[in-house]
Amino acid sequence: MKILTGISFIFCLLVGFSAQAQEEVIYLKNPSFEGLPRAGGAAYSGISAAGWIDCGPFMFPSETPPDIHPGNFFRVQKPAQDGKTYIGLVARENETWESVSQLLSAPLKEGQCYSINLFLSRSDNYVNKQTNDSSDEVKSQGNPLVLRIYGGLRPCEKKQILAESQLISHTDWRNYEFEFEASDNIYYLTLEAFYKTPVLLPYNGNLLIDNISEIKRIPCPNEEPFEVAETPVKPKPKVVTPKPNPKDVVEPEVAKNDVPEEIVPRPKKQKIITQELNSETIAKGQTIQINKLYFAADSSSINKDSYSALNEVYDFLEENPNIRIEIGGHTNGIPPSAYCDKLSTERAKEIAEYIIRKGIRPSRLEYKGYGKRKPIASNDTKEGRKRNQRVEITILNVN
Domains, the chain, with CATH or none: 12-218 (2.60.120.260), 287-397 (3.30.1330.60)
pLDDT tens, position by position, 282-312: 888 999 888 878 777 777 778 778 888 888 8
Cα–Cα distances in angstroms (integers) from residue 361 to residues 45, 58, 93, 302, in the given order: 8, 11, 26, 21
Residue (of 246, 145, 138, 248) closest to 192 by Cα position: 145
Of the listed ranges 42-56, 106-120, 129-143, 340-354, the least confidently predicted one is 129-143
Across 82-96, average pLDDT? 92
Q: Please state the pTM of the whole predicted model.
A: 0.54
Q: Are 391 and 354 in contact (CB under 8 A)?
A: no
Lowest average pLDDT, out of 46-60, 110-124, 271-285, 301-315, goes to 271-285
Tell me the sheet residues that pair with 11.
180
Average pLDDT of the segment spanning 314-336: 90
What per-residue confidence (pLDDT) applies to 273? 56
CA pair distance 212, 163, nearest whole angstrom: 14
| CA distance linking residue 127 with residue 306, whole number of Å | 47
Number of H helices, E strands in the chain: 4, 18
- Helix, strand, or coil (residue 205): strand
pLDDT greater at residue 293 or residue 246: 293
Give the total residue count for the chain: 399
